[in-house]
Amino acid sequence: MRYALLLTILLLPCVASAGTSPDGHRPAVAAQAAALHAVPTTTASLQKLSAQDIPALVKAPAHGARLIALWSLDCTYCEPNLKALAALQRAHPQEFALVTVATDSIEQRAAIATRLRQVGVATYPARAYAEATPDRLNFLLDPKWGGETPRVLLIRADGTRVGVSGELTPAQLKKLR
């Protein structure tokens, strides 16, 4: 299954090529999006996520789609998801922006930052909850979510959303496209 997941990620560029013009050149909008969603190369700082920050985080992006990877320190299923979503973003930088959001309190900043580095996703914008318990921010991010981690929230430019809880299967990962 792990191999199938990696295979899916590797094959996704082939699927993505269907969206390019017949002569193989990337459409101008996609090129702009590529610039917007380029893979960051430096370590991003961990920022707190408060209730008032959530409208901007879940606002539909101008281009492509935003992947919000929700995870927590106590969750053993979260790290494979973070890796898979980072791989997806790297394979399609013109389509996806990735933000990691730890549902743990920002007071655990050091542990969160350490884990993000260990998983290899510290270069992406990272947030952690500014409240002592996660339930309200969970609800504001996604009312259909009960707080189980991992969860990925995909927000497309057209305003549509997809939320998937649990470790992503290849089929679920493909559905995010």
Partner 1 sequence: MRQLLTICLCLFATALLAHDGMSMHTGKAPALGASAAFDSHGTLWVVDALDGHIRVRRSADDGATLGAPVIVNPQAEPIYNSGENRPKIAFGPHDEIYVSWSQRRPKPWTGFVRFARSLDHGAHFSPPLTVQHDRAEITHSFDALAVDGSGRIVTAWIDKRDEAAAVTQGKPYLGAAVYYSWSTDGGATFVPEHKLVDQSCECCRLVLTHTADGDIAAFFREIYGDNFRDHAYAVLRTDGQASKVERATFNQWQIAACPRHGPGLAIGNDGTRHAVWFAATDGPTIWYGQLAPGHPPRHQLAIAAAGASHADVAVRAHTVWVVWNQVSAAGYALMLRRSSDDGRHFDAPTEIARSDQAAGSPQLLLKDGQAYVAWNTVGGFRLVHTARKS
Site of interaction with partner 1 (CB under 8 A) = 1-4, 51, 72-80, 105, 107-108, 110-111, 114-115, 118, 131-133, 135-136, 138-140, 143-151, 165-167
Could you tell me whether strands 46-49 and 126-129 are parallel, antiparallel, or unpaired per DSSP bridges?
Answer: parallel
Q: Provide, rounded to whole angstroms, the least separation between the CB of residue 132 and partner 1.
A: 4
Q: Provide, rounded to whole angstroms, the least separation between the CB of residue 85 and partner 1.
A: 15
Q: Provide, rounded to whole angstroms, the least separation between the CB of residue 106 and partner 1.
A: 9
Closer residue to partner 1 (CB): 25 or 117: 117
Closer residue to partner 1 (CB): 89 or 103: 103
d(CA 102, CA 168): 17
d(CA 46, CA 73): 14
Closer residue to partner 1 (CB): 91 or 145: 145
d(CA 71, CA 77): 9
Please answer whether residues 119 and 79 qualify as being in contact, where contact means their C-beta atoms are separated by less than 8 angstroms.
yes
**2-16 vs 78-91: helix crossing angle, rounded to 10:** 20
Closer residue to partner 1 (CB): 26 or 148: 148
Q: Provide, rounded to whole angstroms, the least separation between the CB of residue 175 and partner 1.
A: 16
Q: What are the C-alpha distances in Å from 24 to residues 20, 21, 27, 108, 116? A: 6, 5, 9, 47, 36
Q: Provide, rounded to whole angstroms, the least separation between the CB of residue 143 and partner 1.
A: 5
Closer residue to partner 1 (CB): 11 or 29: 11
